[in-house]
Amino acid sequence: MKRILVKNSIFGIAQAIINMLLVFFVIPIFIKMLGSESYGVFALVMVIGNLNTFTNLGLTSALTKFIAEQGRCNETNIDIVVNFILVLITLLPFTIIAIFFNKFILLDILKVPQSVFAVARGLYIWVVWANYLLIVGQVFKSILDALQKVYITSIQQAIYNIIYWSLILIVLLLGFNLPEIGAAIFFAALIWVLITFISAIKEWGKISFNGLNKGFKNSTKKQLSYGLKMYSSGLIGFFYEPLSKILISHFIGITEVGFYDLALRLRNQLWGFVGKIFYPLFPFMAEQKDKAVVRKYVHELEQKMFFLVVPLTAIIIVIMHPFIQLWIGKNINIIAITSIIIISFHLIGSSTVIPNYQFLMSKNLAEKTIILQFSNVVFNTLFFLITVSFAGYYALIIGNVAAILSSFILSLYYQKKYLDSLIFDSLEQVFNLIIILTILIILGIAIKLFLQGHNVIILLVEPIAIIFASMVLYKLFRLIRRNDINRYFGNNNKFSNTLVRFYNL
């Protein structure tokens, strides 16, 4: 089991790296070819992708859970067929309504300027249909994920990302506009659905319809009962980042939506790494019956995630400004500040508690994730509205930080209540990590000042220096144990033995 979890995570990380490289390459070309306002429109219209949460009723998460729990049996076959039917039934009316009311959604809700409505509408309609395909394809992806074949879905996602961004790049270079970009997005979605469907059938085998008439009602009731909890969590979650973009559009401007979106895209690249590492835990936890095993995994992974996040946060803080200068080349300060704060707080306050979130989802405690998401939305919106009159655009950052802190505290509360566990073994560990983070930031700033004006060298030197310094500091503060090295890197191999000698263990 450990081997397949590691394999799934490695393939997921590889997929995230591919997507990151594509994003970093294509977006500057997008902004250069079509301008910041068009990118802002693109970012705003792509909010429609989050409308997936309005349509699938949490059914794909429910299917993953029940397949993982039940395994290959006739009941699971019925669940797959019923899930597919329910997705089609619930999805089509939402899609038609979204297209019919396109003018109202674009002009009145998203606040797209009238001057760009025509091109925005073309992009919007293509994206709506692309999302239709993507949601249907989630049924087949759920089958593969539940079979612990996450590495296959990661490969498929990498193929989708390559096609997605390559087609957008081709459209840009040919001099086309947003509607043609929408068509490229739709075509990429179509290819992804086809390859995911073929893979799911190949791995699962023939799906039996035996007993469908008798089992349809019970399967529907079971999946909707669990799925609606997940749906409520996702539905509330929609009002976090997408609502943030809408708030910026209403209160500040369309160009600033693009600034916020760039910060989110950078955050999402790192989040992609974290998510791919931890996603295989969801089907694993769903099938795990021993609570002690779940407690061990959640506690261990969260603690070690903090050990990774501390140097990563220091790196983000010191390299973001020169990186934005090289990557985008304009509006550097506002994008860099937004990125530093949002990414740092997400790394520390959100990524570290993902294992607990997955525990809640997989063990019939999904209603708690609703409260976590609700906390995000309430604090984000409340602090934005309170501070926007004097903080302007930065009110959104204040709201995001307040939201992350609120959900982090709640997550710790649920972890203590249901697993009788927290992230750290002692307060001493917490203080040591705070001291280490402070030292790393000071070191990074000193190196940055010494290399001032040499952005490429800064981007190369800073990560290496901070990672090495963090290893030394972890040694001085005795945060690494021999059991940790053996668990993650194996026993008596060359690499693990080198680490043991370095840490004097």
- Cα of first residue to Cα of last residue in the chain, in angstroms, is 28
**Under the phi-then-psi rule, with left for phi > 0, alpha for psi from -120 to 50, and beta for the rest, what region is 307?**
alpha
For a pLDDT cut of 70, what percent of the chain falls above it? Answer: 87
pLDDT at residue 182 is higher than 90: yes
Query: Average pLDDT, stretch 473-486?
Result: 82
- Is the pLDDT at 484 greater than 80? The verdict is no
Can you count the helices (H) and strands (E) in the chain? 22, 0
Average pLDDT on 88-117 reads: 85
Q: What is the pLDDT of residue 490?
A: 67
Kindly report, residue by residue over 121-169, the tens digit of the pLDDT. Answer: 999 999 999 988 988 888 888 888 888 787 788 888 888 989 999 999 9
CA distance 248 to 255: 9
Instruction: Locate the domains of the chain by residue range.
Output: 1-246
pLDDT at 53: 47
Continuous H helices in 239-328: 241-251, 254-278, 281-287, 291-327
Residues with Cβ within 8 Å of residue 125, at least 6 apart in sequence = 99, 102, 182
Its pTM stands at 0.69
- pLDDT top residue among 413 and 266: 413
Are 84 and 67 in contact by the 8 Å Cβ rule? The answer is no
Element housing 5 (H / E): helix 2-34
Contact call for residues 86 and 57 (beta carbons, < 8 A): yes
Q: Residue 287's CB: how many other CB atoms inside 10 A?
A: 16
